[in-house]
Chains A and B, each alone.
Chain A
Amino acid sequence: MNPTSRQLTETALLIAVAVVIEFAFRILPRQPQGGSIDITMLPLIILAYRQGFLRGLLGGMIFGVLNFLLSGLALHWGSFFLDYLLAFGALASAAWFFRMGRESAVYFGLGILAAGILRFALHVVSGVVFFGEYAPEGTPVLEYSLTYNFTYMGPSIALTLVIGLLIFDRLKPLLDR
């Protein structure tokens, strides 16, 4: 099914906002671990709120591709799919919570939380594959991946949640046009 031109331009602009946030507004600039603490997820989740799961999935994946084209690093064979395509596409899962109730900020928060945790899980899986490939046998791969990814995903999710809830009421009329 073809989108309307409005849906198309809206997807593009929200992705552009995400890129601008990703590159220009690092909340805590340059973490030593590589992952950064930021609120890139917010515009993509708002896209899922506006246009539903499938369009949100497409938008998230396109952001992943764009992010990869602009500064991508894939350290193992699955990284492109897990860390870029699926991790950002997974943010659209928030749309399932938005279906339960669009009026209250509670569901918006739940959506952000679920989307963030799913993205975190995908990064963890990617880390397991990565360390599985590079670390010696017998290393507690899962624990390392969990800790490593949590150091930046944990604060990112918390920050996105707080800021998302703060702007939800102000953006509400715009989001429900």
Chain B
Amino acid sequence: MNNVVIGRYLPGNGVLHRMDPRTKLLGLVFLLASVFLIDRFFHMLLALGLIIVLLLVSRISPKRVYLGMRPILFLLLFTFIFQIAFNEEGDLLWSLPLNWSLSSLAAVVAIVFLWGFTRRYVRFSLLYFLLGAAAVLTALANLDYGYTLTTGTLEVYEDGLQSAFFIMFRLIVIVAISTMVTMSTKPTDLNLGLEYILKPFKILRVNTEEIAMIIAISLRYIPTLLDEANKIMLAQASRGVDFKEGRLKEKVTQIVSLLVPMFIISFQRSDDLANAMEARSFVPGAPRTKLHVLIWRRLDYVALVVIFALFLASLGARLV
């Protein structure tokens, strides 16, 4: 709780760090669109190669991208297995007879339990999961003692394998692109860029300055509120609330004892801030000057040309 890092920004001096946030946001939009336009395996492989080159050039460690993917790892594995097991187009590459017998089912249950209990002690969780999956398959293929319920075969087809890898690569590319942007840009800079990018929406009577203002204030107050939350927790702990232990019912009480002061503090802060702003002649909706002015540099022009070329190339590849 003490060292919560919100956002993923890491200071650095790579190419991406020096780029204008507007360039990066436009790049994010157009490159993501390109990735969704690509529909051939070879092109996706090419995109993956380009991303790896970009990662190396911008000096962002691939390990960070992997960490960014952790939340969707489950989903990724699920779709991967799904494609391999159920896609039955193309040539048959490999098949494995499976016996759902009493002995093999018992072995599967044992393996799953063993995996569940020991996985927290193993460092490479993904590798360990694959090992567990392999063990389950081996058990299903070889153990046919006892009463056999049913038999089946696991068949891996060429198209299934290809689309499984295609999807995996696509997800890796998507996550890598967005991780690179959020890692190399401060949230406040992203907000400045966003205000600029959103300007066309003014035609729809969207108040883009207000949006940028709200995001800026939120970003400014997130650390303050975290600090306050810490104080509240310490204060409640000194009155005997234990934030680490407890069942669901006690947890709910703890959260309530934390939330009520949080809301009171944030309402107070917002009143203070509104007064302070009005005292400095802030008028909502009135034109304002900027403290930080964004400047396009040569690097940005080059990057934008490259990004647009890539977008056109993938559009062309889709249409051909």
Contacts of A100 in B (CB 8 A): none
One of A74-82, A102-110, A116-124 at the interface: A74-82
Which among B218, B256, B277 has the highest number of chain A CB atoms within 10 Å?
Answer: B218
Instruction: Tally chain B residues at the interface, Cβ within 8 Å.
Output: 67
CB distance from B135 to the nearest CB of A (A): 19
CA distance A8 to B278 in the complex (A): 12
Contacts of A30 in B (CB 8 A): 71
CA distance A59 to B219 in the complex (A): 14
CB distance from B301 to the nearest CB of A (A): 24
If A3-B210, A8-B274 touch, whether A136 touches B182 (CB-CB below 8 Å) is: no
Contact B174 A75 (CB under 8 A): yes
CB distance from A141 to the nearest CB of B (A): 11
Contact B270 A72 (CB under 8 A): no
Contacts of A74 in B (CB 8 A): 32, 174, 178
- Report the number of A-B residue pairs with Cβ-Cβ less than 8 Å: 180
CA distance A72 to B32 in the complex (A): 13
Q: What DSSP secondary structure best describes chain A's contact surface?
A: helix
Contact B75 A75 (CB under 8 A): yes
Which among B6, B83, B191 has the highest number of chain A CB atoms within 10 Å?
Answer: B6
Contact pick for B167, options A11, A70, A134, CB 8 Å:
A134
- Give the size range of A's interface with the partner: 35 or more
Which among A13, A16, A71 has the highest number of chain B CB atoms within 10 Å?
Answer: A13
CB distance from B314 to the nearest CB of A (A): 13
Which among A3, A4, A12, A71 has the highest number of chain B CB atoms within 10 Å?
Answer: A12
Nearest opposing residue in chain B for A4, CB measure: B284
Contact A23 B6 (CB under 8 A): yes
CB distance from B186 to the nearest CB of A (A): 10
Nearest opposing residue in chain B for A14, CB measure: B266
Contact A19 B218 (CB under 8 A): yes
Contacts of A3 in B (CB 8 A): 210, 284
Q: Mark B67-101, 1 if CB is under 8 A from A, else 0.
A: 01001101100010011001100000000000000
Contact A6 B270 (CB under 8 A): yes
Contacts of A167 in B (CB 8 A): 256, 259-260, 263
CB distance from B31 to the nearest CB of A (A): 12
Binding site for A on B (CB under 8 A): 1, 4, 6-8, 32-33, 36, 68, 71-72, 74-75, 79, 82-83, 86-87, 160, 163, 167, 171, 174-175, 178, 182, 187, 190-191, 194, 207, 210-211, 213-219, 221-222, 225-226, 229, 251-252, 255-256, 258-260, 262-264, 266-267, 269-271, 273-274, 277-278, 282, 284-285
5 interchain pairs, CB-CB under 8 A: A8-B213, A24-B4, A62-B211, A62-B218, A77-B33
Binding site for B on A (CB under 8 A): 2-6, 8-17, 19-20, 23-25, 27, 30, 32-34, 39, 42-43, 46, 58-59, 62, 65-66, 69-77, 131, 134-136, 139, 159, 162-163, 166-167, 170-171, 174, 177
